[in-house]
Homo-oligomer: A and B are copies of this chain.
């Protein structure tokens, strides 16, 4: 087994730690956590450190910190010629301290402390500056997930942006659904089965096949009546822009 250290104690660090604890390829010998309490429930407290000079030597350092901190943390690792893999979607590996062999180990998922996830179903996108290291990282990734993809920097960035659309923005639309339910005194739960089916459909139909609704049909009467009903200017603006986008997209098909 390869000895590895996880730097970070947030959602990604915790899910990765749990996944590696079941891996036959990786032995997590230490976790760096500014706040040790964050992670004490998952690992022997003697293995948690909060100073960079306490970091011990390992083959791999997984940097699971906020995007803004990745580059700085990479330079604080007091070793060189190690494999340093960060888990961020949007940080170019050439920005990391070149004293180590840098790469990305990007799990394409939304992590919350309150939700347990089956890591084996999470796609992990791998990028590494030294092509010769790819195979080793792939073996490590395959020890925790069935879904491993080799990507370029641009692809990783594109995946991160697409994730913003299908996760962050989608969740915000759920939020608008909740606002409308609150303002009209119906239960948001009425929308739950629709939300689940919308997501389930996309596993078997492509988005063009799955698209329905007044914008898709060009049903201006319904669209106008919806816009008349909405009083929140922000909701109206989003309704108009997305409706127009669906109509324009339909014309291209």
Q: Which residues of B contact A110 (CB under 8 A)?
A: 194, 197-198, 201, 210, 212
| Chain B residue at minimal CB-CB distance from A192 | B203
Q: Does A46 contact B (CB under 8 A)?
A: no
Q: Which residues of B contact A139 (CB under 8 A)?
A: none
Q: Does A166 contact B (CB under 8 A)?
A: yes
Tally of A interface residues using CB under 8 Å: 94
Contact with B along A185-225 (1 / 0, CB 8 A): 11111111111111111111111101111111001011001
* Interface 9-residue window, one of A23-31, A36-44, A114-122: A114-122
Q: Are B212 and A168 in contact (CB under 8 A)?
A: yes
Question: How many chain copies?
Answer: 2
Given A197-B117, A202-B174, A210:B166 Cβ within 8 A: no
Q: Which of A193, A234, A246 has the most CB of B within 10 A?
A: A193
Q: How far apart are the CA atoms of A125 and B186 in the complex, in Å?
A: 10
Chain B proximity of A197: nearest CB distance (Å): 6
Q: How far apart are the CA atoms of A233 and B206 in the complex, in Å?
A: 23
Q: Does A52 contact B (CB under 8 A)?
A: no
Q: Which residues of B contact A164 (CB under 8 A)?
A: 213-215, 226, 239
Q: How far apart are the CA atoms of A229 and B163 in the complex, in Å?
A: 14
